[in-house]
Amino acid sequence: MKKFKCFIALDLKSNAQNIGIVKKLYRHVYGFKVGYRSFYNNRSNELISEIKKSKCKLFLDLKLHDIPNTVGSAIDSLSNINPDFLTLHISGGNEMMKAVLNSIKKNKLNTKILGVTLLTSLDGKDSEKIYKERNTGKLVKKFAEIANNLNIHGLICSGDELKVLRKYNKLIKITPGVKMFARNDDQKRVTFAHNALQEGASFVVIGRELIESKKPLYLLKEYGEQNKNKNLWTK
């Protein structure tokens, strides 16, 4: 069955609410993203089992960033879960990324590692303070180059960065911060999911627009209808 090339971010307050979203949408979407809110919760194992049962992909968005030995052993601890995708910060450095990739191999996991370049919440002023580079596009490219040289499997990138990162055509690109439908209040710099997919994103991440809706399945189907020939679906 064709699936919408999207990860649904399960960021609702309760485990039961997140499980409800999985049950409603699993037939139609490629995967689910479990981030801080739902992972650091004493019942996250129930949510993860539900996702595994659904046969959708599990994306653990833990944005690892620590010394190499610590991140390597974090992978040992995640080996029971064996997520399909896992994030780390590229700014953690080469040795940290190598430790993650080695630990994935050692534990015989299928996990694809995705590098976070620059958080979208940081702007030129922040990046100048932290990295002495005001041009965020340049910085993102530099991080992408480092990750690519280490054979990281993919990148998390905003819709604005897809063009700059086009040359890394072997890397999986996952784009969060996208919308499905236009709304009057936030029109200025919105990337729509179908635009991101047409511009090179392998998958998009959609959260609140669907999970906070009373009719997520209806919205998903409506969106599919409106964008029939726009590369939204897996083959």
Q: Is 199 in the site for ligand C5P (CB under 6 A)?
A: no
As a dihedral over the C-alpha atoms of residue 179, residue 164, residue 123, residue 130, rounded to 10 degrees, the angle is 140
Q: Interface residues for ligand C5P in 27-86 (CB under 6 A)?
A: 35
**Residues with active-site annotation:** 63
The H or E element spanning position 49 is helix 44-54
Site for ligand C5P in 174-193 (CB under 6 A): 176-177
Task: Give Cα 2 to chain centroid, integer Å.
Answer: 20
- Give, as ranges, the residues between 200 and 229 that touch ligand C5P (CB under 6 A): 205-209
Beta strands 4-9; 203-206: pairing state? parallel
Side chain identity, residue 149: N
Instruction: By CB under 6 A, tell whether 120 contacts ligand C5P.
Output: yes
Question: What's the CA gap between 223 and 230, in Å, rounded?
Answer: 11
Residue number, 53 or 208, with CB nearest to ligand C5P? 208
Q: Round to whole Å and give the CA distance between 80 and 115.
A: 22
Shortest reach from residue 155's CB to ligand C5P, in Å: 12
Query: What minimum distance in Å lies between the beta carbon of 176 and ligand C5P?
Result: 3
One-letter amino acid at 26 equals Y
Give whichever of 99 and 140 is closer to ligand C5P, judged by the CB atom: 140
161 is a site residue for ligand C5P (CB under 6 A): no
Residue type, 176: P
Residue (90 or 99) nearer to ligand C5P, CB = 90
Considering the complex, what minimum distance in angstroms separates the CB of residue 108 from ligand C5P? Answer: 28
Structure tokens at 186: 């936030």
Applying CB under 6 A, the residues found at the interface with ligand C5P are 9, 11, 35, 120, 176-177, 205-209
